A and B are shown apart, each in its own frame.
Chain A
Amino acid sequence: MGSKTSRHVAMTLATTVVTVSLAIAGCGRSASSGGSNGDVSPTKGLVATTPAGTKTVPSAIWAVYRDVNSLDPIFAFDYPENTAVSLLCESLLKQSPDGSIGPGLATLATPSPTKLVFTINSAAKFWDGHPVTPADVVYSLDRNTDAKLGGFYSLVFSRVSSIAATGSDQVTITLKQPDYWLPGELASMPGIIIEKAFATKQGKNYGTPAGSIMCTGAYKLKSWTPGVGVTAVASTSYWNSAVKPPLVQQITLKGVPDTTTFTSGLITGAIQGGYTMGLSTLPQLKSNPAVKVYQGPGWATDAFIVSNSKGVLGNEKVRQALSLALNRQAIISSVYKGAALMPRWIANPGTFGYGETTFIRAYDKSPVMTQDMAKARKLIKEAGAQGQTITIGTSSQLSNIAAVTGAYQQAAQAIGLKTKLDSVSAQNYINFFIDPKARAGIDGFLTLNYGDYADPAALLTTIVLPGGSQNYDNFSDPAMTALLEKARGTADPDKRAALVAQAEARAAVELPWIPDVQPTNITIMSKGLSGATTSFAYMFAPWANTLGGTG
């Protein structure tokens, strides 16, 4: 009897994991793609926001790809948790839909390169009416590095030597060395401010279904029932008078793992909205009169992770050849249904949150990674790699991963390489990322990856810096490291952008990871709604404050 139940579970597991991946990353079924087919322009046709709503709406159901697991910002590390925390809570600094960073609960001054002084907005209040104090700020930031809590963002604070209240409305972060990446992180989950007294009283229940949370956002938590959803209501006493009171009175974030359910829910009005990337049913939703589909700047990159520098992909020319042989347009149309851009860099151009002119000028100088078989074959010959084998870690149960793997197999074989697949179950795919034993013997695997704020460096540094969290093959290019380290210590945004751009341009040639395509951020809302953030910034900053009814 026990075995019967578990066998059944194993079966259903497979189907559910597949649908989960569908919801987040799309499916490989080929169909005619609607709309722009892989535009190379980083901004063409993309919108970061939608017109603010004008009418009060009593309630809306917003879908996330699975149930929310935590409302504690230090454990928010995936789409559902980020969507929920950013709806309810606010950070010290704030990312706008275009990725630029400005004042949030506080304004930032940098009297010296190693001092960040935050002045808390005097109006800032928690839902319970208590003002946001320096003690709350210090407490919230310190939680990130509290070893007993085990938060996911401790590395972000690696250059911080102290965080202290230095005035009645002031907090100063003293750095060991200049760190102009920290403000970006403080405009993301690590910078979310919660109420100290409330959180201390809640103890380990803070941010769990058994406990509650205390934040400052325009929406406040009403209830959270696992399996049913996180329900937020418009706060009647929101502190920021610059923001109009929210029009949607109640928003429920509901986990909808199944693509079919998500799609039919939107069509029938059981679901009013949701964010997604590479949804297999996108063409169907685009043509449905009940919903509107928006494409916004994305910050995530679909990429091939090169995880073995000792194998055939350790040779730069082979990586370049593989990249040149890849049919990216096919991935854009079959996996992303047109909702992705052709890459020039590893970074998605949606991440140009500062120094935009500098970034775009440099970006346009790097070539679009279009297919060029002749050049690819020539490089393979130069490398003497014909007939060699690359082993790709994949999962046939994750349809988007399987589809892109297929494109790589085709590319490799066309230029005279052999391919071998190491296919694992959907739930084991994660081991490629976390277990060196799982990576042994494979040359690379696929990912959809992003950084915490709009900066091309946010993802690149995890890939190319020695000791970077996603530098699986110990990639090291001293020149690129120097550029990024210098950028980290450069105050001027344009100068910093120029340094990061140089590093990105090098990475686009050296290909520590091979970028496949740059997905745009997809927002789907029922016809009667407008006003949600439509760029990837929804992951880090309030996205529903101007959401409301139309017409």
Chain B
Amino acid sequence: MRLAFLGRRLAMLVASLLVASFVIFGALYLAPGNPIAALSGGRSLPPSSIRVLEARYHLNQPFLTQYWYWLSNALHGNLGISITLRENVSSLIESRIWTTAGLVLYASVIILVLGIGLGVLAGLRPGIVDTSALVTSAISAAIPSFVAAILLITLFAVKLRWFPVLGNGTDFVSNLRHFTLPAVALAISSLAIVARVTRAAIREEADREHVQTATSRGIPRRQLIRRHILRNAAIPITTISGITIASLIAVAAVVETAFGLNGLGAYLVAAAQSKDLAVVQGISLVLVTAFVVINVAIDLAYAALDPRVSQGRRAG
């Protein structure tokens, strides 16, 4: 049962990758601009150089031929060569993947701990706690990552000098220092959304008939919260957390650029600008895979949380 589910999901992953790679390749092919022009910084290049470079990167071939070159190489594990850096795409991705993974992981931890924590607290404690949580989350939900980045840099890096302005850091401790502001900038608006959904889910469960009945039967509150409210509220919370975390992968680009982090997102933006096809394709495949894997993880979590949910079907 579980194996069949995983097999189905794997097939879906392969299909998504294939479709995504074709769509992205096509979109970038159709988009105006020229990867060779990006090498020259806007000044004219001699026509002979342009011809050589076009032939080298098959840019003078029809669209489908170009895509086939890329696909057949990719199937052999060769993601191609970056036009701007003249280097293998896989090694370029490898050197950056941990930055993005670390950033998204750090931000996810912040979202899960603070977002769910705040939501549960607000859900269970109506009154001043709930109101202040609502106000805080309303404000932070409205702050896009790039604004948060500028505010955080100005306050904590330039004025207070608690955290560095840019760069990755060298060891674990300095990595943590370098990644704190970016992770907060990345997490801040998603955190509010997770908190709000959590609060609503908790409220809904707390108002359910079986909880009222349990309360009237004198079941201790602690046990009531754990077994009747949290357990049942867990499915919507998991759904929103999963979607939020998966979307962080895409938003990371903005934050990485603002903080000068050497991550996949910032690189994807730079590569798309210079129409560096192989790099855009390579990074997109990694991002699509990560997205699909996170979704599979969520589905598996549903089954663990609620045995009634058969795998592959979402409840909530």
Please provide the chain B residues from 219 to 250 with a CB less than 8 Å away from any CB of chain A in the complex. 247, 250
The answer to whether A75 touches B39 (Cβ under 8 A) is yes
B275, closest chain A residue (CB) = A427
**A268 near B: Cβ within 8 Å?**
yes
| Given A256-B260, A433-B37, A154 contacting B270 (CB threshold 8 A) | no
**B59 near A: Cβ within 8 Å?**
no
Tell me the complex Cα distance, A508–B179, Å. Answer: 53
A438, closest chain B residue (CB) = B32
| Given A227-B95, A433-B43, A6 contacting B257 (CB threshold 8 A) | no
**A30 near B: Cβ within 8 Å?**
no
The answer to whether A6 touches B267 (Cβ under 8 A) is no
The answer to whether A430 touches B34 (Cβ under 8 A) is yes
The answer to whether B157 touches A9 (Cβ under 8 A) is no
The answer to whether B49 touches A469 (Cβ under 8 A) is no
The answer to whether B153 touches A260 (Cβ under 8 A) is yes
**A482 near B: Cβ within 8 Å?**
no
**Number of residue pairs spanning A and B whose beta carbons lie under 8 angstroms apart:** 188
Please provide the chain B residues from 245 to 268 with a CB less than 8 Å away from any CB of chain A in the complex. 247, 250-251, 253-254, 257-260, 262-263, 265-268
Stretch at the interface among A99-107, A143-151, A371-379, A488-496: A143-151
The answer to whether A1 touches B291 (Cβ under 8 A) is yes
A9 proximity list for chain B (CB < 8 A): 250, 253, 268-269, 272
Tell me the complex Cα distance, A15–B96, Å. Answer: 21
The answer to whether B84 touches A69 (Cβ under 8 A) is yes
A462 proximity list for chain B (CB < 8 A): 44
**A110 near B: Cβ within 8 Å?**
no
The answer to whether A149 touches B150 (Cβ under 8 A) is no
| Given A12-B254, A69-B39, A430-B38, A2 contacting B284 (CB threshold 8 A) | yes
**A17 near B: Cβ within 8 Å?**
yes
The answer to whether A12 touches B253 (Cβ under 8 A) is yes
The answer to whether B42 touches A447 (Cβ under 8 A) is yes
The answer to whether B158 touches A257 (Cβ under 8 A) is no
The answer to whether A261 touches B259 (Cβ under 8 A) is yes
**B146 near A: Cβ within 8 Å?**
yes
A430 proximity list for chain B (CB < 8 A): 33-34, 37-38, 42
The answer to whether A270 touches B85 (Cβ under 8 A) is no
Cβ-defined partner of A13 (8 Å) among B19, B86, B273: B273
Cβ-defined partner of A12 (8 Å) among B16, B41, B257, B260: B257
A451, closest chain B residue (CB) = B43
The answer to whether B44 touches A210 (Cβ under 8 A) is no
A462, closest chain B residue (CB) = B44
**A428 near B: Cβ within 8 Å?**
yes
Tell me the complex Cα distance, A438–B33, Å. Answer: 10
Please provide the chain B residues from 160 to 181 with a CB less than 8 Å away from any CB of chain A in the complex. 161, 164-168
| A→B interface (CB under 8 Å) | 1-6, 8-9, 12-13, 15-17, 19-20, 66-67, 69-70, 75, 77-79, 147-155, 204-205, 207-210, 225-228, 254, 256-258, 260-261, 264-265, 267-268, 270-271, 427-431, 433-435, 438, 447, 449, 462, 469-470
The 6 closest A-B pairs by CB, nearest first: A78-B41, A150-B52, A227-B262, A2-B20, A469-B44, A150-B49
| 6 A–B contacts from the bound complex (CB under 8 Å) | A3-B23, A12-B257, A66-B270, A77-B43, A265-B165, A469-B44
A151-B49, A208-B86 known; 18 new pairs, CB 8 Å cut-off, are: A1-B16, A2-B20, A8-B250, A15-B257, A16-B273, A150-B50, A150-B53, A152-B45, A225-B95, A227-B266, A257-B257, A270-B164, A431-B34, A431-B37, A434-B34, A434-B44, A447-B42, A469-B43
